[in-house]
């Protein structure tokens, strides 16, 4: 029990001083000097939570020939609808923009390490142009991401551009999976 009969909080330490009543001090300040050494402090200039490994800024959006089709981005996991420990992002392949221009149509990528390929996925090998670091499976089930988010990703999460031939094969597989004819 602390002073006044209140229950002591776990982060408070009561220190008795001669001729004084108990004095409350935050426990973290007391333990700070005792339990931490200089080795426990982060190095100067080093961020404890480094930014995710991103490739950088994409091509200029003002270019009249630029299109979001075939662009690869590092998309944060919450945008995919989940979060997982140890992962903050997954690659996303933009397959196009909706007719109204409000949403981008994306395919989510995942690592090919220690997992079998499913029938609704396409394997893409890393190249200098696409910016992927390793073999990646892309789900053929499209998801939409608001274009305002895609424009932000374009500024600092752009990986590269998918090869036209690979993008064409993925599109054909996607149409075949959903039994859609080209152009509909």
Q: Is the pLDDT of residue 34 over 60?
A: no
Burial degree of 174 (CB within 10 A; 0-12, 13-18, 19+): buried
**CA 159 and chain centroid, separation:** 13
Q: Which two tokens stand for residue 95?
A: 């397959």
Q: Which two tokens stand for residue 63?
A: 């270019």
**How confident is the model at residue 114, as a pLDDT?**
65
**What sign has the CA pseudo-torsion 174, 179, 181, 184?**
negative
Q: Is the pLDDT of residue 32 over 90?
A: no
Q: C-alpha dihedral over 65, 71, 74, 79, to 10 degrees?
A: 90
Listed in order, the ranges of the chain carrying CATH 2.30.30.110 are 71-177
> If you average pLDDT over every residue of the chain, what do you get?
75
Q: Could you read off the pLDDT of 41-76 as tens digits, one per residue?
A: 445 444 443 333 445 778 888 888 888 999 999 999
Region 89-98: what's the mean pLDDT? 92
Q: What number of other Cβ atoms are within 10 A of residue 67's Cβ?
A: 12
> Pick the residue with more confidence: 20 or 164?
164
Q: Give counts: helices (H), strands (E), the chain.
A: 4, 9
Region 142-164: what's the mean pLDDT? 92
Instruction: Quote the CA–CA distance of 100 and 114 in Å, as a whole number.
Output: 39
The partner residues of 90 in beta bridges, in order of sequence, read 75
Instruction: Quote the CA–CA distance of 14 and 65 in Å, as a whole number.
Output: 69
CA distance readout (Å), 82 to 76, 78, 144, 174, 179: 9, 5, 15, 23, 28
Region 85-101: what's the mean pLDDT? 88
Q: How confident is the model at residue 20 (pLDDT cuts 50, 70, 90)?
A: low
Region 75-79: what's the mean pLDDT? 91
Instruction: Quote the CA–CA distance of 12 and 30 in Å, as a whole number.
Output: 10
Q: Is the pLDDT of residue 9 over 70?
A: no
Q: Are 58 and 155 in contact (CB under 8 A)?
A: yes
Token pair 């020939």 is found at: 65
Region 4-26: what's the mean pLDDT? 49
Q: Could you read off the pLDDT of 95-143 as tens digits, one per residue?
A: 999 888 899 999 999 888 867 777 788 999 999 999 999 999 999 999 9
Q: Which CATH architecture has domain 71-177?
A: Roll (2.30)
Region 170-181: what's the mean pLDDT? 82
Instruction: Quote the CA–CA distance of 173 and 56 in Å, as a whole number.
Output: 30
**How confident is the model at residue 55, as a pLDDT?**
54
């Amino acid at each position: 029990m602390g002073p006044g009969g209140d229950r002591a909080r776990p982060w408070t330490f009561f220190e008795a001083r001669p001729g004084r009543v108990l004095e409350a001090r935050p426990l973290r300040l007391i333990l700070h000097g005792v339990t931490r050494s200089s080795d426990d402090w982060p190095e100067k200039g080093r961020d404890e939570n480094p930014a995710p490994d991103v490739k950088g800024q994409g091509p200029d959006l003002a270019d009249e020939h630029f299109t979001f089709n075939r662009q690869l981005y590092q998309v944060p996991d919450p945008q995919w609808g989940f979060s997982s420990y140890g992962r903050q992002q997954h690659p996303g392949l933009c397959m196009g923009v909706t007719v109204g221009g409000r949403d981008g149509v994306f395919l989510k990528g995942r690592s090919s390490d220690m997992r079998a390929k499913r029938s609704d996925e396409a394997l893409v090998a890393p190249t200098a142009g696409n910016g992927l670091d390793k073999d990646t499976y892309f789900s053929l089930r499209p998801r939409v991401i608001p274009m305002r988010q895609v424009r932000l990703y374009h500024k600092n999460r752009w990986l590269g551009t998918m090869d036209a031939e690979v993008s064409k094969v993925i599109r054909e597989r996607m149409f075949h999976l959903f039994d859609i004819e080209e152009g509909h």
